[in-house]
Structure 1
């Protein structure tokens, strides 16, 4: 760690703080207790509405949880484990990062959906409607156009599509943005954080009303190729494709991508993406892993009959920069970008030698977030995207 990084990570008066509405920070200290303390120091403000953090799965979760609970007290603290972090210093790993929203500009309602294995659409709908009523009674600005929802889901729950559909219906036009928790590509140990403890098989919902301008963004840099693969045999409950074009899925994927079976790994999946076409739009369907029977497990929904399109790189860095320039033209320079960035984008950036360029761009636009096992945008669970909320400056409202 260089001197500038140490000064940032250890100073409560860091020059990287954004002002009264939002503060952000983090720590790459491997000790959970010390990392939590450094995060707390960087987020300190007079009237916090809530704190949201994203942390490496390698931290001792019990120590981290206990320390955060002690430091932040009654302040709502929400978070999740990651497949990589995005801090004020750019793309990070082995770290914790987060942000604090001021009660002067944000009011927040939160909820935990437990036991997603027996998820109830009606229960989730009622939970969100209750949150909306409570938020409306305390709102700082008109609800419909000045509110958004954030979601954090256990990335190994295989329940995103069901949960997001129910939440989106209940939100009645309020945008929903979020990400699926990761665990550094181990695929066994993903958690969300709520009410001073970590949970698996659960989802955190955060409903926010604000006097700040904001803009939701979600998109990817991929361009469609011509070759198609039809899912001819699948297990949708497990997101497994057994056959593509009536051939063993892994073998047919390798043929189309012109790679060998021995090359199948996270880097290959990131560099050789697939997508589903809906109208004129393409939505990526990222592969999680190859199985012993040569089937492929996906991060997103897959089913028999789905047609997958081979995709190619359209310029990851340039596409993100163009999107951010459009947002800045609309709402001004961001105080914060809450970022949910697919793990395959990070792997692709590493593989193509543009990691530092992307990291610098995230730092420039004040992105704080994490690398996900899937991104959430309204009712959609997608892959290979950058999805997020850009927080602009505050305005005056009469409610």
Structure 2
């Protein structure tokens, strides 16, 4: 980004600032991010960064620049900046303390996760939020989550958080690492963590709405998971056949074609009532089993899905949101990596990027999206913050 672009990104409303940098040097990128997020009375900063940055250098520079301002973030599978889809960058936003009250915490060592500890932690956060709130907490608050995308802990963590939040909406995303599947981190209190979850409670005077949805349409073909390792999210067999072979047969592709692109273009889902929740394949293994991004278990029925119009669905959804709360001054966006790969594969990447820029989306491509107690794939999930904030002195 040049100086003119950074100036254009700086502020769209009194409650938030946002921006970013695509500089490859971690210290320089952090400095450029800091410049675009400058605010007189900040409540907190959230950032999303490319995994290629030197984490130690990035962490050290962010700590020096932002000082005691709470800064939270994660590594990604691609960033969404105010310029649209921006892989290989750092992007973020700052919330004003005049319009937002924020409480934050980190849950470490998810390998020994305790539902009771998580529940008690969130309840304590809510008590602190209620003492400082600038609007009624029950109807004017939302929660954000950032989890290590390789922790295989999302379902357990989200269930505990959702119960403790007692109806306050929760949205978030699982950290990525550009499809390397080995090096995902969250950031809290001036350092990066693996195997951890960052939780953020936000109380605000601004109108907002949460959203989570996809563009996929169910086909008739189904597969039953007949052998699985749920702890590792691995399906060994589908319809009593090696999982990869049966997936290829149903999707009418060859084993040699299996890749992140083929998984993105040939999605699966689980039906719950009248709703379909995507279950994306992460990778094929040497024994022809399939590892998934989300929970998988023996007996689950998977439905073949087809594209229902990625760009059109998002545009229609946003037109409805605008009619309800007006033009957004910020959308905190958690966008599945398979949506970006699908857009690339179908030649609609620029259209999708332009839409995200138009609606002021700041966020990242995830290894899974969080919606209340649900861990899902192939969705755009987020919080839309409207412009017409009331000011309280």
- Give the structure 2 partner of residue 375 of structure 1: 369
* DSSP 3-state at the match of 1:335: strand
- Give the structure 1 partner of residue 232 of structure 2: 238
Q: Which runs of 5+ in 2 are unaligned?
A: none
Say if 2:3 is the partner of 1:7: yes
- Give the structure 1 partner of residue 275 of structure 2: 281
Say if 2:199 is the partner of 1:205: yes
Do the aligned residues in 2 keep the contact of 1:8 with 1:16 (CA within 8 Å)?
Answer: no
- Give the structure 1 partner of residue 137 of structure 2: 143
Do the aligned residues in 2 keep the contact of 1:105 with 1:394 (CA within 8 Å)?
Answer: no
- Give the structure 1 partner of residue 161 of structure 2: 167
TM-score by length of 2: 0.99
Q: CA deviation at 1:32?
A: 0.3
Residues 1-399 of structure 1 aligned to structure 2 (within 5 Å): 5-8=1-4, 11=6, 13-14=7-8, 16-396=10-390
Distance 1:34 1:127, change over 3 A: same
- How far apart are the structure 1 equivalents of 2:4 and 2:325? 28
Two-structure CA RMSD over aligned residues (Å)? 1.1
Deviation by residue 1:148-173 (Cα, 9 ceiling, x = unmatched): 00000000000000000000000000
Do the aligned residues in 2 keep the contact of 1:121 with 1:166 (CA within 8 Å)?
Answer: yes
Q: CA deviation at 1:394?
A: 4.1
* DSSP 3-state at the match of 2:72: strand
- How far apart are the structure 1 equivalents of 2:375 and 2:254? 29
Q: CA deviation at 1:122?
A: 0.2
TM-score by length of 1: 0.97
Q: CA deviation at 1:7?
A: 2.6
Do the aligned residues in 1 keep the contact of 2:98 with 2:392 (CA within 8 Å)?
Answer: no
Distance 1:8 1:382, change over 3 A: farther
- How far apart are the structure 2 equivalents of 1:27 and 1:198? 19
- How far apart are the structure 2 equivalents of 1:344 and 1:29? 25
Q: CA deviation at 1:397?
A: 8.0
- How far apart are the structure 2 equivalents of 1:203 and 1:117? 11
**Structure 1 residue ranges (4+ consecutive) displaced by more than 4 angstroms after TM superposition:** none
Do the aligned residues in 2 keep the contact of 1:179 with 1:375 (CA within 8 Å)?
Answer: yes
- How far apart are the structure 1 equivalents of 2:201 and 2:62? 21
Q: Which runs of 5+ in 1 are unaligned?
A: none
* DSSP 3-state at the match of 1:356: helix
Deviation by residue 1:278-315 (Cα, 9 ceiling, x = unmatched): 00000000000000000000000000000000000000
* DSSP 3-state at the match of 1:137: helix
Instruction: State the aligned residue count.
Output: 393
- How far apart are the structure 1 equivalents of 2:124 and 2:67? 25
Deviation by residue 1:165-209 (Cα, 9 ceiling, x = unmatched): 000000000000000000000000000000000000000000000
